[in-house]
Every structure is written in C-alpha cells, then in structure tokens.
Structure 1
Amino acid sequence: MKSKKAMAVMAGSVVMMAALTANPTYAQTAIPRNWHLLNYTQDSVYGTGVEKAYKELLKGRKSTPVLVAVIDSGIDTLHEDLKSILWVNPKEIPGNGIDDDKNGYVDDVHGWNFLGGKDGRSVKEDSDEATREYYRYKSLYINPDSALDKQSKEYQYWQKLQGRVVKPSPNESKVTYKTMLKLQESLHKCEMLLTGYLKQNDFTAAKLDSIQTTDQDVMVAKKFMQRIFQNTGEENLTYSELKSEFEEYLAELKRKAEAADSEGPADKRAEIIGDNINDINDKYYGNNDVMGQFGFHGTHVSGIIAAVRGNGVGMDGINDNVRIMMVKAVPDGDERDKDVALAIRYAVDNGARVVNMSFGKGFSPHKDWVDDAVKYAEEKGVLLVHAAGNDGNDNDVVDNFPNPDFADHSARANNYITVGASSNGRNTKVANFSNYGKKNVDLFAPGVQIYSTVPGGNKYGAASGTSMAAPVVAGVAALVLAYHPNLTAAQLKSILMKSATPLPDGTTEVNKPGAGDTKVPFSELSISGGLINAYEALKLADTLDTDKGTHPKKKKKAKMEPVKKG
C-alpha cells in the first residue's frame, strides 16, 4: 500500500511520503540508515536482527535462491543495486515478439505489466474504487436510494459507498486547486532563494535554523518554510520529501477538480488497455514494460527485499540470494481486482515462492476473483505478504482489501500475512499512520523512514508506510526459505508468527495509531502481538526437520543465476 500520512500543511490530505533525493540528509540524525536490519541489543533500534543473523547463524552456510514477486507500480530495471537480481524468464527469448514459453504473455522477460496497452503505453493514474463503485451504482439504478430494497445487502453497500464518496461542487474543487497552485508558486520561489543561499539543492528545518543574513528576501523565505516544516509534524523531513508529497497531493486535487465537472471518473484504462474489465477470463492483455516512468514505489519495495548486499553502494537488501519478479498492477489510485487476481496467478505460475503486495483499498467489487487467486496460491504453497494500510484504522472494524477471509465464508487462507508498521523505537514505537487489528493484522515490521532504492540514475531515498513494512517481512520470509527451501507456505507463516517478539526495550504500552496520545498494549494491535524477527525466525526454522518437509504441490523451480556483487 502506498505510504500515506496526514499533511496538515496541505489541508490534511493523505499523500505519499517519499524521498527522491540521491543524497538524503541522514547525517543529521543518530538513527542509522539501515536501522531496520539491526537489533536492539547492539544498536538500540527496533530492527529485525538481519545483520546479526548473517554474522552468527548463516556464516558459511549455503542457501538456495528464492523468487519473490512484487506486485506493484514498476521497477527501475537499470538501477545499480537491482539489475543483477531481476528474475529472467529462462524460457523467453528477449525482444523477439514471440510468446516463446506459451504462457500467453509475449516477451515477459522480467515479469508482466497488467497496466499496459498494446501500443506500449501504461495506465499511470486511476480513480479510487469507492468512486468507481458509486458511479456504477448510479448508472445502474439512477436513484439507488429509491430503487433498492432498504433491507437488501445491496442497499447497505450503497449506503457505505455514500459514506465514503463525497462529491465536491465544481467550484469548491477548482478553488482549492487554484489555491494550492498559488502555494506551489510560493514554495518554488522560496526554494530558489534558499538553495541559492545555501549552495545546495536540498535542506531541512535544522539547516534553515543556521541561516543568518541581512538579505530580507532570504529571511522571509526562511520563516515561510519553517512554518511549513513545523506544520507537517515530521522529524528529519527534507524539502525534497515535502515537495514530493505536495506534488502528489496537487495531482490528486487536479483529478478531483476535473471529476467534479463530470458524472464519474474518466476511464483511461479502457482507452489504453482495452480489455473487458468485467471478464476475468479476458486475461491476455498488457505489455512487458515493467519499468515505465512510474516505478518509485515498486523500486523502493524491491530494494528493501533484495538490493545487492555487500557491493559497497547504496544499501543492502535483506536476502543475498533472491530474485525479484515485477508484476505491474498498481497505478496512482486504486488497483483493479482483476489485475490483482491475474497478477497473483502470474506470479504463482512462474515460480514465485513469496509475493509482496504493498497496496490496498476499502472496496473490492470482485473479491471472489481475488479470493480464487489467493486459494490458487495457497494450493501451490506460495506465501502472500500484504500491507495493513496507512489510515490509522482498526482493520477488525474497517474493511481493507485484499484480505485472507474468503467472501463465501468458507475459510481463511493460511498462506497470507498482513503487516503493520513499527518505528525505530527511539522517537516512536509504532507508526501513527499504521492500521492495526487483533484479528486481522498478523504482526508489525519496520516501516518508518526506510532507506532503499529509488528510480532514475542509481538514486536512494527514504519512504514510510506499511508499504515498506510488508517487504521487510517478505524479505525475511525469503531469507528463511533460502536456508529451508522445503517449508510450505503455512509452515513459513507459522515460523514468522511464532518468532515475532515483544518490543525489545520492555515497553508494553504504545500510542494507539490514529488516536493521538491514547495508550494501548502493543500486544493488542496484532494477532502475534510482536515484531518480525529474522534472527529468531531462522533459529526456530533450524529446530524443524525441514528435510522431511513437503514441497509445494506442482511448483515450478525458477532457474536463477547467482547474484553478481557490484
């Protein structure tokens, strides 16, 4: 799920938190860049113990390569820390325009793009599912309030949609958009003045404090930006991060202003992709462009799992013997159930053992399609790792899709892990934006200011969200599998859950996400009541007789070459 948090300065909008700078200002904080890989005993942070595991448990041991599918927005296939760990389809000849492996997807060398069109374009933006459903019901029933039986489930669903979709007037949307455009102009002027004075192209609130000059224009810009930084409530925020948040918020405002003039969101998907969105059997659409221009999110997620370890550049991923298959299905906006279902099936059919799903939404009109794909993954022994969401909600009360509970109430998938976001433990314990749930969130993992790969010229940056916590768990799952390849998905989930640990400094109560200073027991925020712990998971796995474990049924083994360092 895309990393989201409140932005007081941007009218309380929920937008993506992401650093796009090549040189983030981490030197200004005592929190190590790789804190999520560290451990509390040595480093005083709520990390996963990955580095400790490599030093104490894994040294000299041989591992098996593990294929992890990342269903996301795309990946920078040229990034220095990722290009050598990309999955390469061994049965496909690149660029020949032929479906060599006869799987229905032509030239799917590194994965597949379910957002693509035959002409090479891709869907960048899509509407949210609640809005799509709201207008679908309006077109079906004209006036659903009078057309639907008040006792029916459909009417209850319609009421839920009305509660989520508030259609602003065209004037209201346009006024807000124009106001924010003026703010953007002011930010740009301040940026020019301050970067010129500082002789650097990025800065923080702490850096602004050091400015002392008789240039009144610079001082006005300083005070303006200090107020902006203060209103965000974010520690260690850089201007580049704030600017990225604002630009995404502005793009969302623009979409709303355009939608307010029409009866429903524009269907760009139909124009670009051209599939029948209501037919799950119409599945051979898209293209092989898993990179595109929109892959920040997927690139960052992939680096957390698999960025090459020990090559002396950037950062280290969790697993040093892993391949990433990118399955592009997540636009700016809500993903479609059809794309998600087919993306899961594609990953399973092509040998993935773990699937990371850092996305989510509040409505799922074709949940049955996704459920069938989850069941398919379960049958084939594939672990699905999903982000819990970033709205500070209780997932036991508020719907969050996809999820492991089948719509037909037949069962609950046992190959599915839902992940909340924890912080480093020094400033905060649990991310204030993270969703939680004693029945519907399995465990927590590092998800605040996670440093990883970003696209566009071998760059790195930080991002926050359960989107970052999920790949931490996916990476740990793949690490355990690398040394215990015979584990089933259910066994692997059990190991991760049983080895999850309480907060390492002995803290028992934390601030309840989304509830200010309200305290709750940390153990009540998830099923396991704990944090992911790679060190303990590997120790637990070592106690099991995995040589007698069951191989996943009819699973294809993906052929993968060793990762090249550097």
Structure 2
Amino acid sequence: MRCIVRKYGFAAFTCFIWAGTVQGQNNLKGWHLKDLQQDGFYGISITNAYTFLKDKKSTPVIVAVIDSGVDTTQEDLKAILWHNPKEIPGNGIDDDGNGYVDDVYGWNFLGNKDGNNLKKASDEKTRLYHRYKNKFSGTSINEDSLPGTEKATYELWAKAAKEMSANSEEQAELMFVEMALKALKKHEKTLQDAMGKTEFTCEQLEKFQPATSPVKAAKLGYLTSLKLFGFEGDDSNTLILSQLSEYAEGKKESLEARDVPPPDYREKVIKDDYYNINDRFYGNADVMGPNPLHGTHVSGIIAADRTNNVGTEGVADNVRIMMVRAIPDGDEYDKDVALAIKYAVDNGARVINMSFGKAFSPEKKWVDEAVQYAETKDVLIVHAAGNESTNLDENDNFPNADLQEFGKRADNFITVGASSDPHIGDGKLIADFSNYGKTNVDIFAPGVKIYSTLPGKSEYGFLKGTSMASPVVTGVAALIRSYYPDLSARQVKYAIEKSAAPCVDSTIRIIKPGTKEAVPMATLCETGGMINAFAALQIAATLQPEIKEKKKIVLPKATFKNSKPTK
C-alpha cells in the first residue's frame, strides 16, 4: 500500500494531505531542500550540496521507482525519464529479449497483455485470512503438532483472523465518514451554484463571500468538515470527495470482508499463476496506469528537472527515473514487489525507491530473495517507514531489512521516517503520523508539506507521508552515486546515515509520534537525526572505493535464475 495513506486506518487518513501552515503556501514550496542556518528550515541543505559539487563531473544514474505509475507527459519529468536503449517503442516486439515487450519507460506488473490494468486490490490481511479460512477456521489446532512451515502459516493466519474482527470504533468511523460525505455533497451543490463553478479549492472558498444565509451555512459546514478531516487550502472539491469516497468504500469492504471474501481483482485482470514466482513475464508496458498521482509525486521529489526553470526541482540533477508499476490502491502483492526489484536491478537501476508498505507479507521469502539479489548487484533500496505512528521495533512493516531467508539484515536497505519543521502545521519536528524505531528506522527526512509534480502537463501540489520522505533520501543517494560512482551501495548508505543531523534547538521538543511524550531523538531511529545532503556528500568525498573480496557471491537459491522467457 502506498505510504502516503493507509486506506483502512482512519487516523492515518488525515495524514494524506493536510499540513496546516503558519506561513503561506508559496513560502513552503521546496522547504525540504533548504538549509537551517541560511533559510531557517530543517531541510537537506541542497544549495550547499551543489556548491560543494561545483566543477565536479557527474554520471547518469538510473533510479527505479516502484510505485503506482508515473505521468510520462509531465513537463518536469519528461526529460528525466529512463528510456530502455535496447527497446524500439511501440513495435510490439521484445527487442531486448528480457521477456517484457515494449518496456520503454519500465514495466507494469499490474496489467495484462490486452492493455487492461489493475487499479484496486484488497488488503493483505483479508487475502491471507480467506486463503486459509477453510483450513484453520472452526477447528481445534494444536500448534505444537504442526510441521514448522505449517505452524508459521497458522500463526500468521491467526494473527490476521484476530485483526479481522471489526470493532465498534471502526464501525463508528465508517458511519461518521458516510454522514460527512452526504453533508459535503449537499454543501458542494449549494456552493457550486452560488460560485458559478463546478470545481473550487478550499482557499477559493475561504475568499468567497456568500450573499445569502443558506450559502453562508453551506460554506461554514463545508470548511468545518474539511478542517476536521485535514484537507489543504489548495485541494479541490473533486479531489476531496474522491478521497473520502474511496476511503469509505475501502473501509466498508474491509468491515464486510470477514464474512464475504472481496473480489479477486487480480484474477480478473492479471491472470498469472500467482503462487508460482517463476511465472513472471506478465503485465504490460503502461507505466502510467489508471492512477499515477503517487508515483508522479515521488518521482518529482527525486529528480524533477532542475534546469528548465518551471514547476519544482528534484534533489538529484543527473538521474533517469525508471518506473516499475507494482502498487495498486490497496495492499501490494509480494510477487509483484519481488519481480519489480528484479526487473529494476537487471535493467541497470543503482537505487530503488519503495514508498509503500503493509503489515502482512505471506510471501516474504520472495521479497527477501529480491532484496538479497539487489545486494549482490550493489543496488541500494530506500523504503518508507509507514504512517501509523507506531514503533517498528514492536510492529511489523513490510518489506524490511530483516532477511529471514538468509538469517541476516540487508546492508543495502534504508528505512526512512518523516520529519517536519516548526514552521509547518503543529510545529513538531517529527511528523506525528510517522512510524519510528531505534532499530528498524534508520533516518528521518522531510515528509510533510512536500511540493512536487502531479499528473498533468504542468500540475504540482503538496502531499505528505513517509512516501515523500523516502524519495528525499533516494535523491541524495542518487546524487552520491552520480558524483562518486565508484562507491558501493553500502558506502552510500554509510554516508547518508553519518550525515544525520540532530535537532540543534533545545527549545524544540521531540515528540514521539502519536503521543504527547517528549523523547530523545535517538530513541526514534538508529542514527538519531535527519538527513543532510551537504554533509552526506562531504562524507562520501572522503571514502575510498571498497576492495571487492574474491569470494563466492551468495545468490537467492532458485527464485531469480537468469532464465529467459518461453517463446
């Protein structure tokens, strides 16, 4: 599931797009790139970074974005998108013989050869529960008598079954959202007639002066509801109602799922042999997909064109974005994630951004093997920590660096929490929605009120989430790999983590996300600080390339053999 919003978590839903501001919208555009000493913002000091890099040469770096899709026509992304040099666009032939026809910009693992695309998926908890319900439900299970693998499966199913039980709080949330939706739609119609337009933003509505009492009441009711849900001043009525409707629909489906299995959207569209990891040449070349908002925003944060003087600027200046579509609305599938990582590695990606996550991973073995495969090929993976205000040292979030299949932690994996700034919203330095963990979160990066590209030729906007923090780190990693190409993924991770800057203002209290408790920053992540691009580059400049030991590289056992597609 894309990490800017947990569709089945009401509190986290408000973390999708609201970051009420003390300063104006324009003042906050690009705040995440600024410098604390020079600009007064807890950004990543990108201007100082590029001053440090002046007169140094860079080489292009391919960055894979595993996400929902990307708008290939966006003005700030067109020039920085990866093009497969071995593929002839649109000829219907697999020119490079990699099994993926016309993969010019990347690949879409959520489609079929007829051009149809999967937009929606149920959550993994529900899929897991119904997968084993007939086997385990209503029977007396002696766990100690089960074989090792079956015992693990039962324990996973039992955990899912426990969480499937709908509680009164969730039912109340759904009822509240449905009532609010009904009221908002009524207010919207009144306001559209009075304003003489079908689409308007909250900002425009605030400036609008109603002439009658009914319209005044509609304006007050509309804005009050939006503040409660946490929408932005520049969000349109169509976006707001769409997001609320989608949330309500997902919540309703989730509450009904214990008794009624949700539709198997995958079976209807993709039609692969899901439980066979070697059935991997499915999908299509449509990297945009039906809903590219998330992937477009993430891609812009990493590398929006820094030379065209329009829109916004990404972190890295010599990047080619490879889009691998594998994240639907709902929980992603382990198989798609594993194959997306494999595709990215095999096609030259040096850094992979993964702004998604979920609480269950029944095929974690496949994803672990993919991460290990990336490690053997010296590819760095950057992953969003998630938006549940929870401690990842105590709660699961997948994928992660714990490679159970190999009995080790991945050296090429960075998990990123979301930081903020005292000038933004509630003034907290750590985003209240962000997950954290002294062991399982490596570093924090700006993830609130982040301005970047949106679908449309010249569309831009603010979003927030650890989904936005992860590509900030990915951008810095790409910058290092571009200017210091001989450094290993492990060294790039080292430079990034050593750059971590703690809060220097003793008057700013670090509040544990989801609480009012003040804590030391060191308790929230392994590095105890926030990324700084300038410092990371300074550290990278001091490192010598690692001497590669002459030893046998351990590759995944069977999953990722260099097999060719069957003709």
Q: Which moved more, 1:30-39 or 1:434-443?
A: 30-39
Amino acid corresponding to residue 200 of structure 2 in structure 1: D
* Residue aligning to 2:563: none
Partner of 1:95: 90
Output the amino acid matched with 1:77: T
Amino acid at match of 1:543: T
Equivalent residue, structure 1, for 2:558: none
- 8 Å CA contact 2:7–2:247 kept in 1: the answer is no
1:307-354 deviation line (CA, Å, top 9, x unaligned): 101312110011110000001100001111111111101000000000
Counterparts of 1:223 and 1:191, CA distance in 2: 11
User: 1:214 and 1:271, CA in 2 relative to 1: closer, same or farther beyond 3 A?
Assistant: closer
CA distance in 2, matches of 1:12, 1:399: 18
Q: Give the Å deviation of 1:27.
A: 7.9
Q: Does the 8 A contact of 1:423 with 1:446 survive in 2? A: yes
Pair 1:315 & 2:317 matched: no
Which residue does 1:137 correspond to in 2?
A: 132
Residue of structure 2 in register with 1:44 after alignment: 40
**Partner Cα distance (1:6, 1:109) in 2:** 31
Q: Residue type matched to 1:68 in 2? A: V
SS of the residue aligned with 2:13? Answer: strand
Distance 1:75 1:26 in 2: 31
Of 292, 297, 300 in structure 2, the residue corresponding to residue 300 of structure 1 is 297
CA distance in 2, matches of 1:122, 1:455: 17
1:399 to partner: Cα distance: 0.5
Q: Which amino acid letter does the alignment assign opposite residue 33 of structure 2? A: L
Identity of aligned residues (%): 49
Query: How far apart are 1:253 and its partner, in Å?
Result: 3.7
- Compute the displacement of 1:136 (Å): 1.2
Shift of 1:442: 0.2
Task: Give the distance between the partners of 1:432 and 1:253, measured in 2 at CA.
Answer: 22
Q: Which residue does the alignment assign to 2:24?
A: 28
Shift of 1:159: 2.9
- 2:62 counterpart SS class: strand
Equivalent residue letter for 1:349 = D
Q: Is the 8 A contact 1:70 1:327 kept in 2?
A: yes
Distance in 2, Cα, partners of 1:502 & 1:195: 48
Instruction: Work out whether residues 405 and 411 of structure 1, in 8 Å CA contact, stay in contact via their aligned partners in 2.
Output: yes
Counterparts in 2 of 1:354-503, with a 5 A limit?
354-408=351-405, 410-426=407-423, 427-503=427-503
Instruction: Tell me the TM-score normalized by structure 2.
Output: 0.88
- SS of equivalent residue, structure 1 residue 344: helix
Q: Which residue of 2 is the match for residue 563 of structure 1?
A: none
Residue 313 (structure 2) pairs with residue 331 (structure 1): no
The CA distance in 1 between the partners of 2:193 and 2:24, in whole Å, is: 21
Cα-to-partner distance string for 1:275-333 (whole Å, 9 max, x where unaligned): 11111111111111101221111111001001101312110011110000001100001
Q: Which residue number corresponds to residue 49 of structure 2?
A: 53
Between 1:24-33 and 1:116-125, the stretch displaced more is 24-33
Equivalents in 2 of 1:139, 1:15: separation in Å?
36
Cα separation, 1, equivalents of 2:281 and 2:274: 12
Q: What amino acid is the match of 1:289?
A: D
Q: Distance in 1 between matches of 2:384 and 2:472?
A: 10
Secondary structure at 1:461 match in 2: strand
Does structure 2 retain, via aligned residues, the 8 Å contact 1:127–1:334?
yes
TM-score by length of 1: 0.88
Shift of 1:453: 0.7
Unaligned regions of 5+ residues in structure 1, if any?
A: 555-566
- The within-5 A match list for 1:512-523 is 512-515=512-515, 517-523=516-522
What residue number does 1:557 align with? Answer: none
Distance 2:308 2:22 in 1: 20
Q: What does 1:140-155 align with in structure 2 at a 5 Å threshold?
A: 140-146=135-141, 152-155=151-154
Residues of 1 paired with 2:101 and 2:422: CA distance? 47
Opposite residue 247 of structure 1, the aligned amino acid is S
Match of 2:267 in 1: 270
CA distance in 2, matches of 1:535, 1:245: 37
Counterpart for residue 564 of structure 1? none
Q: Deviations over 1:196-234 (max 9, x none)?
A: 6567743437x6665554511111112212321342356
Deviation digits for residues 97-120 of structure 1 (CA, Å, limit 9, x no counterpart): 111111111111110111111111
What is the identity, as a one-letter code, of the residue corresponding to 2:366? W
Counterpart for residue 157 of structure 2? 158
Aligned pairs (5 A) from 1:231-242: 231-232=228-229, 238-240=235-237, 242=240
Secondary structure in 1 aligned to 2:56?
coil
Query: Aligned residue pairs: how many?
Result: 541
Question: What amino acid is the match of 1:292?
Answer: G
Give the conservation status (yes or no) of the 8 Å contact 2:136–2:154: no
SS in 2 for 1:161: helix
Question: Is residue 204 from structure 1 mapped to residue 202 from structure 2 by the alignment?
Answer: yes
- In structure 2, relative to structure 1, the CA distance for the partners of 1:381 and 1:193 (3 Å cut) is same
Distance 1:102 1:73 in 2: 25
Q: What 5-or-longer segments of structure 2 have no aligned partner?
A: 554-567
Alignment RMSD: 3.1
> CA offset at residue 155 of structure 1?
4.1
- Which residue is equivalent to 2:123? 128
Separation (CA, whole Å) in 2 of partners of 1:16 and 1:118: 36
- Output the CA distance in 1 between the equivalents of 2:68 and 2:6: 22
